[in-house]
């Protein structure tokens, strides 16, 4: 390098630095590194995106006794929590979550519900509105007592969905504390209160299907990132929870079947001899489900409501939550699945109203999800995975999830119903991986579990159900959303409860999923992406990752600089809209230049800019001729060798040169995919990385040398970039479709 170049470079660096501060027009910092947005790495979380050497997390173990009254729907429970303080700090108080308080009259959610009256509103509009009594239900959690290990009452204060328990002396680092809580609440009708658990009542036979979720006082997360994560439960942002071991005894009517987080400890006590034999057989059956409770047996029980009680005992290790389902209506099937050296049992519980769909598809979908997700992340570590049929619901808990997909009354169902049911089972079972094991903070970052999980759900459907159509969560599928008004939207990286309800599904699920598909298929390629994604999952399995840990891990494991990608797709509301602005076609002047002779005199000026070339909208003007000059010896500087000008001339001679000017209209930086169509009808696809925009993110020109004459240029031919406007992707520029034609096509 010459000193002159060095000086120029130094100058450039200074200019670059100044630009970063002032963001002059024309440079919007799209390739600027994310450093100013991500937390400073430390010994808890490193710059690589992995947990650091000082990483710690808390632990909460629960022993719970709970009883469900099938007549009043009252749930009463007592729990003993052993809280391990692994943090370096002493804690003077503990925070717990009382999620049922979201249904209390005075909840923030109820008070801040907005809406407007139109010409007509459905009666359901008034459900839960202050001043209108639409049901007798009284929501909210009643705390009977909170006691320490010696039975002494502990002071506590409830702030909406959060409860602070004051400790007599601060809990020192490395120590544990045991205390007990007794509580109750009335389970709600999910048809009226669209919460995540609840019951469904079946008027034909007078029975209930219960799905119990957020049913016990649960410890909040305390971590290195923000201390207590005690942001209120408002409804949209889901849960942040601590890992621990559970021992839960569930008392229900004796003819109920219970499914829960964990394995049954007393199968001999709660199952009949037949059921026990079938259950044991299912554990060793890999080819198809074994029916443990048949439809006939379940239907028989629906008629005779047992007055006796039974207590089912479950144990679960290293889970962040515990949920259960209970009903005498449950049909039950199960089979073993081979995952590495483990053989978890996939089990389904469903009332007869779910059949024949559920008997055919549920357990199969569990198996497909466990296998595909294990392949892409880590082997499913838990011993069981339940899928429970619950109307209108898709909700996940460790080892158990509640899923929709009910056939018509005559048992028939559409292809759409089948697709929805299979997708939701795969999705909710998939949540075992994100966020149940890769335990992100759902209250703040919906995308960290829903986005990653929707991506793998889609991968499962694509590979295991090739006949089911699924565009949801793909780059093509997200286009209608991305077309929206950018200035009104919120980015993926906005807190869950700050997402507008109309955008929640897109920003939490389908946009991040589409972005990950694009990342895998187009930006990184499957091999690098799968390695990096797996690395992130394995680093953070059974830990608490934050957004920066994901962003950093994917770069760390792949050597792909993705800061532009995270910035564009996750931190901005820009969209991808690439355009071919114009194309100029050139050919070398046929008159040969004798290389021995002096450089022929050439006209100065920019041929591409001249009016003589084609008109900029098609190739009808023909190729513009240009001259290749001999390289000026001064251009070689200190080098002794020269290029072989004659050889270069020979190489280019007779070929077609296309200077393509591309514009980034949508603002979101994107790789460029060009499909060339030649005069002889053949096609070629050329892929250019997004870095093509790194020095000018608005507009670039590039010269391509083609043997054959080009008749058509098309950007993003296979719709993999989520380009929101395809009319400007083509050259020659076609007459824009009239609005009427478009209307006809869309209707």
Smallest gap, in angstroms, from Cβ of residue 427 to Zn ion?
6
Smallest gap, in angstroms, from Cβ of residue 183 to Zn ion?
27
Smallest gap, in angstroms, from Cβ of residue 529 to Zn ion?
21
Q: Is the dihedral of CA 495, 214, 242, 551 positive or negative?
A: negative
Site string for Zn ion, 434-473 (x = CB under 5 A): ----------------x-----------------------
Q: How many other CB atoms are found less than 10 A from the CB of residue 41?
A: 15
- In this structure, are strands 59-68 and 244-253 parallel, antiparallel, or unpaired? parallel
Site string for Zn ion, 57-96 (x = CB under 5 A): ----------------------------------------
List residues bridging with 624 in a β-sheet: 586
Cα angle: 245, vertex 247, 248; to 5 degrees: 130
What is the footprint of Zn ion within residues 481-520 (CB under 5 A)? none
Which phi and psi (to 5°) does residue 509 adopt? -115, -70
Instruction: Please state, in angstroms and rounded to a whole number, the distance separating the CA atoms of residues 588 and 604.
Output: 16
What is the footprint of Zn ion within residues 319-378 (CB under 5 A)? none
Give me 141's structure tokens. 């959690």
Smallest gap, in angstroms, from Cβ of residue 435 to Zn ion?
9
Closest-CA residue to 236 (of 504, 530, 516): 504
Closest-CA residue to 240 (of 226, 251, 259, 258): 226
The smaller minimum CB distance to Zn ion, of residues 450 and 716, is found at: 450
The smaller minimum CB distance to Zn ion, of residues 171 and 395, is found at: 395
Q: Which residue is nearest to Zn ion (CB)?
A: 450
- State the number of binding residues for Zn ion (CB under 5 A): 1
The smaller minimum CB distance to Zn ion, of residues 425 and 724, is found at: 425
Residues in the chain, total: 747
The smaller minimum CB distance to Zn ion, of residues 394 and 671, is found at: 394
Smallest gap, in angstroms, from Cβ of residue 397 to Zn ion?
11
Q: Which long-range contacts (CB under 8 A, 24 or more apart) does 591-599 make?
A: 592/649, 593/627, 593/628, 593/629, 593/630, 593/649, 595/630, 595/645, 595/646, 595/649, 599/629, 599/630, 599/632
The smaller minimum CB distance to Zn ion, of residues 510 and 630, is found at: 510
Closest-CA residue to 578 (of 732, 737, 722): 722
Smallest gap, in angstroms, from Cβ of residue 393 to Zn ion?
11
Smallest gap, in angstroms, from Cβ of residue 165 to Zn ion?
31
Closest-CA residue to 547 (of 449, 626, 636): 449
The smaller minimum CB distance to Zn ion, of residues 187 and 457, is found at: 457
Helices (H) and strands (E) in the chain, counts: 17, 31
Smallest gap, in angstroms, from Cβ of residue 414 to Zn ion?
23
The smaller minimum CB distance to Zn ion, of residues 70 and 450, is found at: 450
Smallest gap, in angstroms, from Cβ of residue 238 to Zn ion?
9
Instruction: Please state, in angstroms and rounded to a whole number, the distance separating the CA atoms of residues 601 and 226.
Output: 70
549 binds Zn ion (CB under 5 A): no
The smaller minimum CB distance to Zn ion, of residues 195 and 450, is found at: 450
Smallest gap, in angstroms, from Cβ of residue 419 to Zn ion?
16
Instruction: Please state, in angstroms and rounded to a whole number, the distance separating the CA atoms of residues 304 and 184.
Output: 28
- Say which residue the tokens 């939550």 belong to: 321
The smaller minimum CB distance to Zn ion, of residues 450 and 723, is found at: 450
> Are the C-beta atoms of 624 and 663 separated by less than 8 Å?
no
The smaller minimum CB distance to Zn ion, of residues 327 and 368, is found at: 368
DSSP element (H, E) containing 12: helix 3-22
> Are the C-beta atoms of 52 and 42 separated by less than 8 Å?
yes
The residues that touch Zn ion, with contacts defined as CB under 5 A, are 450
């Amino acid at each position: 390098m010459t000193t002159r170049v060095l000086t120029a470079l130094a100058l450039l660096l200074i200019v670059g630095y100044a630009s970063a501060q002032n963001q002059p027009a024309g440079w919007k910092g799209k390739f600027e590194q994310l450093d100013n947005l991500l937390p400073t790495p430390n010994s808890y979380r490193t710059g690589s995106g992995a947990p650091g050497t000082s990483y710690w997390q808390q632990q909460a173990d629960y022993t719970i006794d709970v009883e469900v009254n099938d007549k009043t729907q009252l749930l009463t429970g007592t729990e003993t929590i052993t809280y391990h303080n692994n943090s370096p700090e002493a804690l003077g108080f503990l925070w717990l979550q009382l999620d049922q308080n979201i249904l209390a009259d005075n909840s923030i959610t109820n008070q801040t519900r907005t809406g407007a009256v139109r010409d007509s509103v459905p009666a359901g509009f008034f459900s839960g509105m202050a001043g209108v009594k639409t049901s007798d239900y009284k929501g909210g959690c009643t705390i009977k007592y909170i006691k320490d290990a010696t039975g002494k009452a502990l002071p506590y204060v409830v702030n909406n969905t959060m409860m602070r328990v004051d400790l007599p002396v601060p809990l020192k680092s490395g120590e544990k504390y045991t205390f007990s809580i007794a509580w109750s609440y009335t389970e709600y009708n999910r048809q009226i209160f669209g919460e995540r658990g609840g019951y469904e009542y079946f008027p034909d036979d007078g029975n209930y299907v219960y799905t119990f979720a957020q049913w016990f006082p649960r410890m909040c997360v305390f971590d290195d990132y923000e201390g207590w994560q005690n942001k209120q439960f408002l409804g949209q942002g889901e849960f942040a929870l601590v890992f621990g071991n559970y021992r839960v005894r569930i008392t229900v009517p004796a003819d109920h079947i219970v499914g829960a987080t964990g394995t049954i400890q007393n199968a001999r006590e709660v199952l009949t001899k037949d059921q026990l034999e079938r259950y044991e057989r299912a554990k060793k059956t890999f080819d198809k489900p074994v029916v443990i409770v048949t439809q006939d047996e379940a239907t028989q029980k629906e008629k005779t409501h047992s007055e006796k009680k039974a207590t089912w005992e479950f144990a679960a290790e290293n889970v962040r939550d515990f949920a259960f389902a209970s009903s005498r209506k449950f049909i039950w099937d199960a089979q073993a699945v081979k995952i590495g050296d483990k053989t978890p049992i996939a089990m389904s519980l469903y009332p007869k109203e779910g059949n024949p769909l559920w008997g055919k598809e549920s357990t199969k979908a569990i198996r497909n999800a466990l296998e595909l997700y294990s392949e892409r992340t880590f082997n499913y570590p838990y011993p069981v995975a339940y899928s429970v049929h619950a109307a209108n619901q898709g909700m996940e808990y460790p080892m158990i999830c509640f899923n929709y997909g009910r056939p018509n009354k005559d048992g028939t169902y559409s292809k759409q119903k089948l697709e929805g049911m299979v997708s939701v089972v795969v999705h909710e079972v998939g949540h075992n991986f994100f966020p149940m094991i890769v335990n992100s903070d759902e209250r703040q970052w919906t995308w960290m579990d829903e986005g990653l999980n929707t991506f793998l759900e889609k991968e499962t459907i694509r590979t295991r159900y090739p006949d089911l159509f699924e565009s949801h969560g793909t780059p093509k599928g997200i286009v209608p959303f991305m077309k929206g008004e950018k200035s009104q939207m919120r980015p993926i990286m906005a807190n869950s409860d700050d997402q507008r309800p109309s955008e929640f599904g897109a920003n939490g699920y389908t946009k991040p999923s589409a972005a990950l598909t694009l990342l895998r298929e187009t930006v990184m390629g499957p091999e690098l992406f799968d390695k990096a994604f797996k690395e992130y999952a394995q680093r953070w399995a059974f830990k608490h990752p934050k957004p920066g840990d994901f962003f950093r891990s994917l770069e760390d494991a792949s050597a792909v600089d993705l800061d532009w990608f995270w910035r564009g797709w996750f931190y901005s509301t820009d969209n991808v809209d690439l355009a071919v602005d114009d194309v100029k076609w050139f050919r070398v002047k046929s008159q040969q230049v004798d290389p021995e002779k002096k450089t022929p005199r050439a006209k100065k000026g920019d041929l591409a800019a001249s009016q003589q070339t084609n008109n900029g909208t098609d190739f009808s003007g023909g190729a513009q001729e240009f001259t290749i000059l001999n390289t000026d010896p001064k251009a070689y500087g200190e080098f002794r060798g020269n290029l072989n000008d004659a050889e270069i001339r020979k190489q280019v001679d007779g070929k077609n040169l296309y200077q393509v000017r591309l514009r980034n209209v949508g603002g979101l930086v994107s790789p460029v995919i060009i499909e060339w169509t030649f005069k002889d009808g053949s096609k070629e696809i050329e892929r250019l990385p997004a870095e093509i925009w790194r020095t000018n993110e608005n507009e670039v020109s590039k010269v391509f040398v083609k043997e054959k004459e080009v008749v058509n240029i098309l950007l993003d031919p296979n719709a993999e970039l989520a380009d929101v406007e395809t009319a400007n992707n083509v050259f020659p520029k076609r007459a824009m479709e009239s609005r009427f034609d478009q209307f006809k096509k869309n209707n």
